[in-house]
Structure 1
């Protein structure tokens, strides 16, 4: 469920982006609603609300959520400040590659790979499986970042659709594949499946 909370601001971003730009006046201030820049403002505002609510509820944000929020504020803020969507196009690749770097760094820093730190409380697996799983997440984030970058600068008319639904689709497919992989290896750590000794 936590993985999909990140998509709430993206979905709101997508909805506003798809609206035909129209002038709107609130409290005597006029602005254009619809299109990339008001969608970016919606992305920033909804991210602050979503992650702010999570912070109030749990008293903290996970590092990944904090990274996502900071990236949204930085790249979204630059997009609005310079009136250039190029900055926003770099957000998804940079965030994905930073996640890949964090997962890769955990092979060399600390006593457990990052995926084991995240999921180890719920699953008991051999270290070799944790290592493979961590490598899979590194690969996923590298591919996801590269795909977002390629689409953003090659297929300009479809990059927002891909940013929302392409990323969501890749995440769902990867999580399903991870579930299938884990189901094949859970018995490796399940004492009830081991043969009794004579």
Structure 2
């Protein structure tokens, strides 16, 4: 029996996009390969030609979302101070999260829970978290390049480990995304990102 083809292509991307729409509308439990085929306007066999099944499609949907967020943080045209650039890159990544509809954002949370609950899919959950940390690392890289060594190596031992800072930033942004879904007005995400830039600037000033 031939295995489903793994190379990228227009049809494969169309199916991932269709799966994302079904997932956003119906949730993980109600998403089926039949529903995805109907959404894409193709025979069910086409889905199984490209993907081994629903789990494989969900895996691709989760990675596609995290890649879009990561690409936004790694974009060009950011400037200003190191701390300001870090905040701008995080805002760009957060904008991609916000651009997704409420259903897609809920689906992203569901996919993380699904991966954690599904035997054999734990690596997908870990990968989603790793990508979030990569986004944070990309965002703070200009700051880290200019000031990270000084901060990490303070003689008085009060420095911040730049690696831990990336973990903290990733957790902050991920938490903001979740909190904003539940309480959009109270989360004040833009102000929190401004505060983060101020905190990075404060760390920088103390190294002078």
Query: Shorter-chain TM-score: which interval?
Result: 0.3 to 0.5
| Structure 1 or 2: more strand by fraction | 1
Q: TM-score, normalised by structure 2?
A: 0.33
TM-score (norm 1): 0.34
